[in-house]
Amino acid sequence: MNVLVKIGFVSLLAMLLSAGVLAQDVEKEQWQQQMNEWTAKRNDLNNKLTALRAEVEALKNQEAEKIAAVKQCEEELLAMVGATAADVSAFEAVLQKIDDKLGELSRLSNQDLWNRRGELDEVQNWIADAKKNKLSVIPRYYDRLADFQTRLDALRNTLKQYSDSGMDMMTYTVGTWAKDRDCLWNIARKKRIYDNAFLWPKIYQGNRNLIKNADVIEPGWVLKIPKKAPLTSEEKSAERSYWRNKGN
């Protein structure tokens, strides 16, 4: 009998344990409720997906039609000016060249821009040539060319301001007499300066802050070289004064 009691207790314990484990699971009724909810959700999504797929498909077709319409319009536009796709590529390359050059010039310092001012005329010619192209009547190119002209004019304006400020003046660093034979007369005579020794008073007058005596210039001085032009009355007066002092 004692054995039977023990077996009974063990069985009871096992059953209670198994009942406890199962209690953590989902009850059938709860499961069914969840199944119903999720199935309804799936059905809703299914309907939504079907509708969305149809909408997306319709939109894709619509997009394809629009792309074709734009392409056709572009072709008609080119046909109006008698241009081909190859003409467009070549023209766009020219515009890009102008754009690049203007970009390059606009990044220069004023001094460097002054030194390369000849390139502005070159760009002006490129713009003029581009304007002769039949494609230039198409607004996107027409506007781009107008923009180039504005940028070029701005560069010219910068140069003008620079020139008006006198900052564009050339400079010359005085060398030694022994090596370079530098004196105002010889400097003025140099080809790249005035190619005219008689214009030395221009250098003298333009550098009175440095030069006290026209016969004395020091190696290493950086002389401003005024633009080549006939001597002004002031420069002539300075020259006369020099000769007078020389005579005394």
Q: What is the per-residue burial (b if ≥16 Cβ within 10 Å, else e) of 135-160?
A: bbebeebeebbeebbebbeebeebbe
Token couple for 114: 């002054």
Instruction: Tell me which amino acid residue 90 is.
Output: A
**Residue of 98, 113, 123, 138 interacting with other proteins (CB under 8 A):** 138
Token couple for 127: 């713009």
The secondary structure of residue 214, as a DSSP letter, is T
How far apart, in whole angstroms, are the C-alpha atoms of residue 19 and residue 15?
A: 6
How far apart, in whole angstroms, are the C-alpha atoms of residue 158 and residue 123?
A: 16
* Of residues 27 and 112, the one with the C-beta less far from other proteins: 27
Q: Which of residues 27-56 bind other proteins (CB under 8 A)?
A: 27-31, 34-35, 38-39, 41-42, 45-46, 48-49, 52-53, 55-56
- Give yes or no for residue 5 binding other proteins (CB under 8 A): yes
3-class SS of residue 190: coil
Contact characters 54-83, other proteins, x per CB under 8 A: -xx--xx-xx--xx-xx--xx-xx--xx--
Q: Which residues bind other proteins (CB under 8 A)?
A: 1, 4-5, 8-9, 11-12, 15-16, 18-19, 22-23, 25-31, 34-35, 38-39, 41-42, 45-46, 48-49, 52-53, 55-56, 59-60, 62-63, 66-67, 69-70, 73-74, 76-77, 80-81, 137-140, 142
